[in-house]
Amino acid sequence: MDFFLYSKIGQMVLALLAFAAVVAVLMLGARVADRVAGRTRNLWALLVFAGPALLLLGVGLIYPAGRTIVMSFMDRRSEEWVALDNYAWVLNNPESLRAFINTFWWVILTPLVATVVGLLYAILIDGKRFEKVAKSLLFMPMAISFVGAGIIWKFVYEYRGAAQDQIGLLNAVLVAVGLEPVRFLQDGPWNTFFLIFVMIWVQAGFAMVLLSAAIKAIPTDIVEAARLDGVSPWQMFRSITVPSIRPTLVVVVTTISIATLKIFDITRTMTGARFGTQVLANQMYDQSFTFGNNGIGSATAVVIFVLVIPIIVYNVRQMLRNREVRGA
Amino acid sequence: MSGTTPANPAVAVGRPATSVPDPMGGRPAPTNRVTTSSRAKKTLSTRVGSAVALVIAVLWTLPTAGLLITSVRPEGQIRSTGWWTFFSDPAFTLDNYREVVFGRASSGALANFFMNSLTITVPATVIPLVLAIMAAYAFSVLQWKGRDTVFVLVFALQIVPLQMALIPLLRIFSGTAVAEAFPFLSIWVAHSIFALPLAVFLLHNFMAEVPRELIEAARVDGAGHVTLFFRIMLPLLVPAIASFAIFQFLWVWNDLLVGLTFSGGNNQIQPLTARLSEMAGSRGQDWHLLTSGAFVSMIVPLVVFFALQKYFVRGLLAGSVKG
Cα(B129)–Cα(B245) distance, integer angstroms: 7
Averaged pLDDT, B226-243: 88
CB contact set of B93 (below 8 Å; sequence gap of 6+): B72, B73, B74
Chain B residue at shortest CA distance from A299: B164
Q: State yes or no: pLDDT of B1 exceeds 70.
A: no
Q: Is B294 close to A152, i.e. CB distance below 8 A?
A: yes
Residue B256 touches chain A, beta carbons under 8 Å = yes
Query: Which chain A residue is nearest to residue B249, measuring alpha carbons?
Result: A143
pLDDT digits (tens, 9 = 90+) for A24-62: 999 888 888 777 766 777 788 888 899 999 999 999 999
Q: Which residues in chain A have their CB less than 8 angstroms from residue B224's CB? A: 30-31, 34-35
Instruction: Check residue A297 and give its pLDDT.
Output: 94
The tens place of each residue's pLDDT in chain A, 328 residues long, gives 667 667 888 889 999 999 999 999 998 888 887 777 667 777 888 888 999 999 999 999 999 999 999 999 999 888 889 989 999 999 999 999 999 999 999 999 999 999 999 999 999 988 888 888 999 999 999 999 999 999 999 999 999 888 888 888 999 999 999 898 999 998 878 999 999 999 999 999 999 999 999 998 888 888 888 888 888 888 888 888 899 898 889 989 998 998 999 999 999 999 998 899 999 999 999 999 999 899 999 999 999 999 999 988 888 888 778 766 654 3
Number of other CB atoms surrounding residue B153 within 10 Å: 14
The pLDDT of residue A116 is 96
A240 touches chain B (CB under 8 A): no
Q: What does the alpha-carbon distance between residue A9 and residue B115 come to, in Å, rounded to a whole number?
A: 8
**A256/B4 CB distance under 8 A:** yes
Nearest Cβ partner for A128 among B26, B61, B138: B26
Nearest to A122 by CA among B221, B33, B57, B296: B57
**B173-186: average pLDDT:** 84
Give the pLDDT of residue A199.
96
Task: Please give the Cα distance from B308 to B312 (Å, whole number).
Answer: 6
Rounded Cα–Cα distance for residues B287 and A158 (Å): 10
DSSP summary character for residue B86: G
Radius of gyration of chain B (CA): 24
Of the given ranges (A282-286, B142-146, B281-285), which has the lowest mean pLDDT? B281-285
Cβ–Cβ below 8 Å for A264 and B277? no
Burial classification of residue B109, based on how many CB atoms lie within 10 Å of its CB (0-12 exposed, 13-18 middle, 19 or more buried): middle
CB-based burial label for B190 (10 Å; 0-12, 13-18, 19+): buried
Q: Nearest-CA distance from B34 to chain A in Å? A: 9
Please identify among residues 85-114 of chain B the ones whose CB lies closer than 8 Å to any CB of chain A.
none
B49: how many CB neighbours lie within 10 A of its CB? 17
CA distance linking residue B296 with residue B110, whole number of Å: 8
Range ranked top by mean pLDDT from A200-209, B26-35, B283-292: A200-209
**B36–chain A nearest CA distance, Å:** 14
The SS3 of residue A142 is helix
CB contact under 8 A, B226 and A312: no
Dist CA B155 CA A264 (whole Å): 24
- What residue type is assigned to position A127 of the chain? G
pLDDT, position A51: 92
Residue of B nearest to A220 (CA): B30
**Percent residues over pLDDT 70 in chain A:** 96
CA distance B109 to chain A (A): 16
pLDDT exceeds 80 at position B320 = no
Q: Does A274 touch chain B (CB under 8 A)?
A: no
**Section B93-118 average pLDDT:** 88
- Partner-chain contact B49 A288, CB within 8 Å: no
Sign of CA dihedral B69, B73, B75, B79: negative
Q: Measure B121 CA to nearest chain A CA, in Å.
A: 10
Task: Report the C-alpha gap between B248 and B243 in whole angstroms.
Answer: 9
Are residues B116 and B269 in contact, defined by beta-carbon separation less than 8 angstroms?
yes
Length of chain B: 323
Instruction: Give the residue with greater pLDDT, B220 vs B252.
Output: B252
d(CA B289, CA A272): 18
pLDDT at A18: 92
For residues B199 and A326, is the Cβ–Cβ distance under 8 A? no
Q: What are phi and psi of A81, to 5 degrees?
A: -80, 135
Residues of chain B contacting A210 with CB distance shorter than 8 Å: 316-317, 320-321
**Chain A residues touching residue B218 (CB < 8 angstroms):** none
Segment 300-319 of chain A within 8 Å of chain B by CB = 300-302, 304-305, 308-309, 312, 315-316, 318-319
Classify B163 as helix, strand or coil. Answer: helix
Q: Cα–Cα distance between A266 and A155 in angstroms, integer? A: 13
Preceding peptide of A189 cis, ω within 30°: yes
Residue A63: CA count within 13 A, CB half-sphere: 13
Closest residue of chain B to A12, computed from CA coordinates: B119
How do residues A127-147 score in pLDDT, each as one tens digit?
888 888 999 999 999 999 999
Distance between CA atoms of residues B28 and A128, nearest Å: 8
A92 contacts: CB under 8 Å, gap ≥ 6? none
Residues 25-84 of B with CB under 8 A from A: 25-30, 32, 45, 49-50, 52-53, 56-57, 60-64, 66-67, 70, 78-84
Dihedral sign for Cα atoms in the order A88, A90, A94, A98: negative
Alpha helices in chain B (DSSP H): 36-71, 75-80, 95-102, 110-140, 147-156, 162-173, 177-181, 185-208, 212-220, 225-227, 234-254, 257-263, 272-282, 287-307, 309-318
* Residue B124 vs residues A185, A327, B91, B308: alpha-carbon distances, Å: 35, 40, 41, 19
Nearest to A203 by CA among A117, A105, A103, A312: A117
- Nearest to residue B23, comparing CAs of A113, A253, A215, A144? A215
Helix boundaries (H) for B228-271: 234-254, 257-263
pLDDT for residue B50 is more than 80? yes
Q: Which residues of B touch A305 (CB under 8 A)?
A: 159-161, 163-164
State whether residue A179 sits within 8 Å of chain B by CB. Answer: no
Contact B168 A71 (CB under 8 A): yes
